[in-house]
Amino acid sequence: MAGGPMPLWLKVGWTAWLLVWAPFYWRHYGPQNFLWLCDLSNIAIGLALWVESPLLFSIQALSIGLVQTLFTLDFFWRLASGHHLTGGTEYMFDPAYPLHIRALSLFHLAIPPLLAWAIVRLGYDRRALLVQTVIVWVILPVSLLFGPEKDVNWVYGPYEKPQTWMSPGLWFALCMVGFPLLLYLPTHFALSRWAVARQNPVPLRIVDVSSRRRKPRGPP
């Protein structure tokens, strides 16, 4: 069941955020940075808020839900322990990156709870698995064009470093298969099961104690 429309303050706030975030990211990283799935999702979420589309939110949940959750865990683990749990947030603690860029990158932490809340409110659209698979199969080949020095979407290796364990072609083929199979499919199954459970909740069993027949007491 839908939980009602998206609040206006969130729509306006996210749009205002995008108008601040995008120019700074463009200037610092360059236009190719908007091919990163997390940055694409940042923009897509803004559109999804205005059109209130379960499909758009579901696509973003598959695209970056799991990865951004790991990002969040690693970020707070590094804050608490001084060490990284999964990696991927090293640049957030690197003074070589301007402070305002690192501050703007905190949007990664807001996305998992926002997507979870939106799907609770609007529901999960199972078509998202097919749509997001097609999207990533378009985005990943385009990401190759920017070379290993940019390593957009890790198409040359994890953590923006070209890998040397296998041929670049094999690594890219694994990315094309692995993104849908290892990231999207488990998230899809989890959200689908949750959606079914939410649509068919187990009714609460209420026992009327007063209606129970009392057993006659036996002789003392």
Could you read off the pLDDT tens digit of each residue along the chain, which spans 220 residues?
455 688 999 999 999 999 999 999 999 999 999 999 999 999 999 999 999 999 999 999 999 999 999 999 999 999 999 999 988 899 999 999 999 999 999 999 999 999 999 998 899 999 999 999 999 999 999 999 999 999 999 999 988 788 888 999 999 999 999 999 999 999 999 998 877 666 555 443 434 444 445 555 544 4
Predicted pLDDT of residue 202: 46
Q: For residue 207, what pLDDT is reported?
A: 40
Q: CA 159 from chain center: how many Å? A: 18
- Which is nearest to 115 in space by CA: 186, 180, 66? 66
Separation of alpha carbons 113 and 125, rounded Å: 18
What burial letters (b/e) apply to 52-82, b meaning 16+ CB within 10 Å? bbbbbbbbbbbbbbbbbbbbbebbeebeeee
CA–CA dist 182, 177 (Å, integer): 8
Residue 167 tokens read as: 């041929």
Task: Assess contact for 108 and 45: CB atoms under 8 A.
Answer: no
Say what the pTM is: 0.85
**Which residues fall within 8 angstroms of residue 16, CB to CB, at 6 or more apart?**
none
List, for residues 124-146, the tens digit of each pLDDT value.
999 999 999 999 999 999 999 99
Residue 187 three-state SS: helix
Burial of 83 from C-beta contacts in 10 A (0-12 / 13-18 / 19+): exposed
